[in-house]
Structure 1
Amino acid sequence: MKSFNYHESLVEQPIAHFLFAHGAGADMNSTFMENMTTALNKRNINVTRFNFYYMDKRLSDGKKYPPDRMPKLLERFEEVINTLNITAPLFLVGKSMGSRVAATLTNEIESLKVTPEIRGVICLGYPFHPINKVEKLRLEPLIKNHYSMLILQGERDKLGNKEEIIGYGLPDSIKTVFLPDGDHDLKPRVKSGYTHEQNLQSAADHIESFVYENR
């Protein structure tokens, strides 16, 4: 079995266990990942953050490798699920690219050797399309998904904003919450009157409710 970098943030009486995958450009120890983990721990949720293969390679030799292809990203996610001792209800969680991988994994769950039962998928800034390429949609993992799913999206996210997403006609199994004036990191502009901390805490509150509904 290949080794991998991961970090467990555990609480005494967890209501759920999250496997939290990073986005394309920042690793598991990014400020966003750490801040969300802290907010989730305060809501009695265990969080395991991990790096995909290419990110481990970036960190080991300092070179900027592009993200792996989807099969290799799925391989790492599967490896983490089956390696860790998870006793609380399991949810797959991702930031941007990580959320796309999580959603894709649930679509292919029957062909993968995943042991623990998955209760739902949570997407923090789902990458509906590349920046400025609204025609290249990434809806398939969402449309094919058979699990309960929560998407937390900034209203002005350049990878899928509120106006665009409302027009996609996503399945009823997907609940989408829009954070006021948020960008891809859920961060609002100062002039909006909202703060990044408010949006992160609001996202964590919605996540907590989603867990209680699906665990």
Structure 2
Amino acid sequence: MAVELLWTGPKGGPVLVLAHGAGAAMDSVWMNRFCELLAERGIRTARFEFAYMAARRTGTRKPAPRADLVLDEYRAAVAAVHEVLAASGADRPVAIGGKSFGGRVASMLAEELFEAGSVSALVCLGYPFHPPGKPDRLRTEHLAELRVPTLICQGTRDPFGTREDVTSYALSPAIRIQWLDDGEHEFKPRAKISGHTHAEHLATAADAVAAFLRAPSS
């Protein structure tokens, strides 16, 4: 399965394979900005698109499929990244993750790839713990057993999982959460209420991801 990769950041930095959210492409404004922030912090990202999103570029409008139906596409992306690294003589474990839907897919594969030695960590940017307005439809069962070091960056008022919601879940001790005060799913806060800005929260999340990837087990 051919995979088109979009690389950002210095070649010598830790590598993060990053998948997009359900409704936005790998080069959306949000994804571009966040990868730029990671690059400024020495992190190299490899972005890719699931087939349904790539098809939209040719005019074929497809909805996001169930997360379990694109696992092989994510596996192929990780394999492609390792091929590139091996060709440059720098093959090593990489971190995987994504924005929302992409992070959920990565989380479903993380343990498998961690055990195989090809992945060292997991990063989720706005994890969709449940659909908005449906807190009973949890997507957390596999998160209770994760052993791979995991960082979730989450706004405290994210409709896919607020701080109040998430603190009640049984999550693995391997998961750490970087909370972004008053942030929603894109980490954007209400500036007049919280005193924070969107740019500030994006930078805080990028700082947390960069520090985590340099020492995921600490």
Answer yes or no: same fold by TM over 0.5. yes
1:176 aligns with 2:173: no
Aligned to 2:18: 20
* SS at 1:60 equivalent: coil
Which amino acid counterpart does residue 171 of structure 1 have in structure 2?
S
Q: Match of 2:132, as an amino acid?
A: I
Residues 158/186 of structure 1: CA separation in 2 closer, same or farther (3 Å cut): same
Contact 1:179 1:186 in 2 (8 A): yes
State the Cα deviation string for residues 151-176 of structure 1 (Å, max 9, x = none): 10001000000011111132211001
Taking structure 2 as the reference length, what is the TM-score of the superposition?
A: 0.89
**Given the alignment of the two structures, is residue 54 of structure 1 paired with residue 52 of structure 2, yes or no?**
yes
Tell me how large the CA RMSD over aligned residues is: 1.8
Q: Distance in 1 between matches of 2:114 and 2:172?
A: 21
| Alignment correspondent of 1:11 | 10
Take 1:6 and 1:32, find their aligned partners in 2: how far apart are those partners?
A: 17
Question: Is the contact between residue 107 and residue 141 of structure 1 (CA under 8 Å) also seen in structure 2?
Answer: no
CA distance in 1, matches of 2:114, 2:161: 29
**Is 2:171 aligned against 1:167?**
no
> For 1:189-208, what aligned pairs fall within 5 Å after superposition?
189-191=190-192, 192-208=194-210
1:81 aligned to 2:78?
yes
Indicate conservation of the 8 Å contact 2:97/2:103, yes or no.
yes
**Percent of matched pairs sharing the same residue:** 34
Distance in 2, Cα, partners of 1:202 & 1:77 = 27
What displacement does 1:101 show?
Answer: 0.5
Higher mean displacement: 127-136 or 88-97: 88-97
Amino acid corresponding to residue 7 of structure 1 in structure 2: L
Equivalent runs, 1:31-180 vs 2, <5 Å: 31-63=29-61, 65-84=62-81, 85-86=84-85, 87=90, 89-109=93-113, 117-180=118-181
Q: Name the SS for the 2:58 alignment partner.
A: helix
Q: Deviations over 1:5-58 (max 9, x none)?
A: 3311131431x1010000100010111111110011111111111100110112
**Aligned-partner SS, 2:52:** helix
- Structure 1 residues 4 and 212 mapped into 2: Cα distance closer, same or farther (>3 Å)? closer
3-state SS in 1 of match to 2:120: strand
TM-score between both structures, scaled by the size of structure 1: 0.91
Contact 1:5-1:56 at 8 Å conserved across structures: no
**Aligned partner letter, 1:200:** L
Identify unmatched segments of 5+ residues in structure 1: none
Unaligned stretches of 5+ residues in structure 2: none
State how far apart, in whole Å, the 2-side matches of 1:81 and 1:102 are.
10
Q: More displaced, 167-176 or 84-93?
A: 84-93
SS at match of 1:214: coil
**54-63 vs 36-45, greater mean Cα deviation:** 54-63
Kept after mapping to 1: 8 A contact 2:158/2:185: yes
1:117–1:109 CA distance, 2 compared to 1 (3 A)? closer
Matches of 2:144 and 2:191, distance apart in 1: 35
How far off is 1:110 after superposition? Answer: 8.3
SS, match of residue 72 in structure 1: helix
